[in-house]
Amino acid sequence: MGMYDTVHMNGKDYQTKHFDGLMDSYEIVNDRLYFREYEREWVDSTDDLFELGGYIDSTFVGLREMSEYTGTIRMIDSDHTLYCVFCSGRLVHVHDNTDGRYKCVNHFLTEKFCSNQ
């Protein structure tokens, strides 16, 4: 178990530990990887669940394109284990390893996909 980040792609949320694992959020939109930026501030409160004296309030600021990211992200949900390969922030391949064999699944996971399948 532990902390993980969330990647949103095509209406689904996937878990990953390929980033910092700080419970951050990412999105893949039109074959591009984005980081969901939030402003966070401490709010003093005596009515918090863990009796810490307050909580962190998050406000969505916007999406920041991760054009510098090159690498592979392993993403999992209850049904799939996907490996998404990025080059300079662009999604170039998606492989499904759910059954232990790598299958190219670019054709149904992304709107734009690499022609080298």
Residues 62-106 pLDDT 10s: 999 999 999 999 999 888 899 999 999 999 988 888 888 878 776
Segments making up each domain of the chain, as ranges? 5-109
H or E stretch at 91: strand 90-96
Write down the pLDDT at residue 107. Answer: 58
Per the DSSP assignment, residues forming a β-bridge with 58 are: 40
The Cα 15–Cα 105 span in angstroms is 18
Write down the pLDDT at residue 51. Answer: 74
Write down the pLDDT at residue 61. Answer: 95
Contacts within 8 Å (CB) and 24+ apart, 90-97: 90/31, 90/32, 90/33, 91/28, 91/31, 91/32, 91/33, 92/31
Structural tokens at position 102? 């790598």
| Percent of the chain predicted with pLDDT > 90 | 42
